[in-house]
Structure 1
């Protein structure tokens, strides 16, 4: 590990706020000016270098921590995660986290590929868990089933059991949470219907049907989110 010396960056305009700070740190990482294990300078220096306030800087660092690109140690400073080099998709996600259309398309690309493999590899135990989660969603009278929805998709992704795509799954779930937070209203019955169709296709071990049903589901989610006037 090393502490960065001579940490020189261009001053960021005030109106770019935390996203621009986040983008700049990610760019430095991708260009090799920052490396896994590097310790970032103290907050006061970063505030001066970026010419931003403490709340703006902390918001950017919190986002990077959520993406597991940095880790903050109590009284020990902020470090670039040692494993960040294994998750380039996560870095790209950080750069586009506010590009809603791009995030939705990235989620669709990953899930559509994963669900076709899941049709071949998902276990009966995992299928049972999908069925049980859908039953729980059906019983959510207050429509507060976001966590259950994410778990449904997590099981499908993890059933592929492929170490090469493991890093992508974490990023997929972050993208899922981002899109989930933008859904203007929930329709429990429709969600259950889509999930049930995906479940049936997976149970039949039919990759084409699984792809089709997942596409129908995610296309509906995309249309609902993009219908908002503030995205």
Structure 2
């Protein structure tokens, strides 16, 4: 991890260190699982004494934001994107109305995020998005739709980060967590539909172009059109799967009936 921590300029108290660490977590710079530098290096970056640093880290850990593993260093705790408790997440995926509402909510939130990102995108944001879209294109060329699906979630997370709105960022991360945790397993079948991978890549490119080009209206439309496509594609994939299931049962029933007659 590079030097993301800043020198404490004034009184160099534990409270100032605590505030800086909390802000980095809140703004999504520090992510769950990220390892903080060692005590000596961290004290150097903050320019505080090690006793002050220890007091600060103890306070942050007491709030559940970081965890210290024996012999494994200090890491950011898994506190981001937990709006949906596991039982609620499972209810969402098992009820058709809830799944539809989930996509409807994502469509509006992602449209807003893309619009904000286009208004507020920085050069560093553009560099981040460019790296993600290049990896997505590489996975697409290699035909690795599982990796492409993972990068899909990463891309949308990054758009949320580039919106530079803390509440929106954490709300969206909760939505994406349902995807990365495997709650919506059937999302992968969208990538198996004819031409779906090409269309999805084109949609991600359109979102990327509008955001990095600073076009808020186009960014909102591209993001919302993308979710509308995903919604229709998931419905088609589920119907196709159901047709295949029914066809298989029908064939099995006919074969059993023929065997009984022959017997």
TM-score by length of 1: 0.55
CA contact (8 A) 2:129 2:155 kept: yes
Task: Provide the residue aligned with 2:214 in structure 1.
Answer: 205
Higher helix share: 2
Task: Provide the residue aligned with 2:166 in structure 1.
Answer: 163
Q: Please list the CA deviations of residues 21-50 of structure 1 after superposition, one character each: whole Å capped at 9, or x if unmatched.
A: xxxxxxxxxxxxxxxxxxxxxxxxxxxxxx
How many residues matched?
Answer: 149
CA contact (8 A) 1:201 1:207 kept: yes
Gapped runs of 5+ residues in structure 2?
1-78, 243-263
Deviation for aligned residue 1:98: 2.7
Task: Provide the residue aligned with 1:123 in structure 2.
Answer: 122
Greater radius of gyration (CA): 2
Kindly indicate whether residue 226 of structure 2 is the aligned counterpart of residue 223 of structure 1. no
1:1-231 mapped onto 2 (5 Å cutoff):
89-91=83-85, 95-99=91-95, 100-140=99-139, 141-144=142-145, 145-177=148-180, 178-179=183-184, 181-186=186-191, 187-227=196-236, 228-229=238-239
CA contact (8 A) 1:133 1:152 kept: yes
Distance in structure 1 (CA, Å) of the matches to 2:164 and 2:186: 27
Gapped runs of 5+ residues in structure 1?
1-82
RMSD, aligned α-carbons: 3.0
Deviation for aligned residue 1:97: 3.5
Distance in structure 2 (CA, Å) of the matches to 1:142 and 1:156: 24
Cα separation, partners in 2 of 1:166 and 1:202, compared to 1, 3 Å:
closer
Q: Please list the CA deviations of residues 149-196 of structure 1 after superposition, one character each: whole Å capped at 9, or x if unmatched.
A: 111111100112223334312212124444574242424332221111
Task: Provide the residue aligned with 1:40 in structure 2.
Answer: none
Q: Please list the CA deviations of residues 1-60 of structure 1 after superposition, one character each: whole Å capped at 9, or x if unmatched.
A: xxxxxxxxxxxxxxxxxxxxxxxxxxxxxxxxxxxxxxxxxxxxxxxxxxxxxxxxxxxx
Deviation for aligned residue 1:135: 2.0
Deviation for aligned residue 1:142: 2.5
TM-score by length of 2: 0.49
